[in-house]
Amino acid sequence: MSALGVKALVLDFGGVVSKTLFETHALSEQALGLPPGSLAWRGPFDPSTDPLWQKMQRDEISERDYWHTRTREVGKLVGEDWADMQTFVKRARGADPDAVIRPEARRAIGQVHVAGYKLAVLSNELDLFYGAEFRKKLPLLKPFATIVDATYTGILKPDPRAYRQVADELGLPLEACVFVDDQLRNVAGARRAGMKTVHFDVTNPAKSYDEALAYFGL
């Protein structure tokens, strides 16, 4: 057991395990047949380019609202009416989800698994945004003990019930879980619920994973 008594690593998916769509604009533009520079919003990488992102950070809109708006905008750029985020992700990222997994995530997940600790995903919209078939194409998720997805539960982080559910499914107390998320509101919710937390910095994923692994003495 780790020195801090933690027994499980609980990860958000989008941004933490997979690269953000902000980081893959060039790939998205190529896949969608758009001219370079068509997608100019940069979210956390340059908030000054993205008033809508700033609005989300002020809790004036939800993360789902943000991506629904971007989905409609990008659909219009290609002359189509996109009603859901799945269409955006599938069209922009193609049939190889493994290609957008962070190498830092791959290494950290492997280390935690080999060391004998449990793994879980706690997401607000894994299948809603990526589609159910996406995760089936990811061997990376095989060692995960559970995936709790608000696409099905309807309980969105930072609702305390979301954190309790994943801990219950792991068979662990909340304080034995290390939760990692790139959205501060979700990290704050996990901390209030009793989990140990890491606020994931999408601009420095290696540092954030090192912080998470330190809880396990890895």
Are the C-beta atoms of residues 8 and 119 closer than 8 Å to each other? yes
pLDDT in tens, 109-155: 999 999 999 999 999 989 888 888 888 888 999 999 999 999 999 99
Q: Establish how many alpha carbons lie within 13 A of residue 190's alpha carbon, considering only the half-sphere containing its beta carbon.
A: 28
pLDDT higher than 80, residue 95: no
Give pLDDT, residue 134.
82
pLDDT at 2: 66
Mean pLDDT confidence for 32-37: 95
Query: What is d(CA 37, CA 58) in angstroms, rounded to the nearest whole number?
Result: 27
Long-range contacts of 99-103 (CB under 8 A, 24+ apart): 100/18, 100/19, 100/24, 101/17, 101/18, 101/19, 101/138, 101/140, 102/16, 102/17, 102/18, 102/19, 102/205
Res 152: pLDDT: 96
What pLDDT score was predicted for residue 74?
A: 97
CA 121, 59, 198 angle in degrees (round to 5)?
Answer: 35
Q: Under a CB-based contact definition with an 8 Å cutoff, are residues 75 and 7 in contact?
A: no
Name the pTM for this structure. 0.88
Cα 77 to the center of its chain, rounded Å: 25
- Over 70: is that where the pLDDT of 3 sits? no
- Kindly list the structural domains of the chain, giving each domain's residue range(s) and its CATH number in brackets, ordered by start: 8-18+101-214 (3.40.50.1000), 25-97 (no CATH)
| Of the listed ranges 53-62, 126-135, 178-187, 198-207, the one predicted with least confidence | 126-135
Q: What is the dihedral of CA 10, 98, 208, 119, to 10 degrees?
A: 20
Q: Report the distance separating Cα 163 and Cα 211, nearest Å.
A: 20
% of the chain surpassing 90 pLDDT: 79
What are the phi and psi torsion angles at 28 (to 5°)?
-65, -45
Cα 187 to its chain centre, rounded Å, is: 12
Q: How many CB atoms lie within 10 A of CB 14?
A: 24
Structure tokens at 107: 């290494």
pLDDT exceeds 90 at position 41: yes
User: Is it the case that residue 199 has pLDDT exceeding 90?
Assistant: yes
Under a CB-based contact definition with an 8 Å cutoff, are residues 10 and 120 in contact? Answer: yes
- Provide the β-strand partners of residue 121: 11, 147
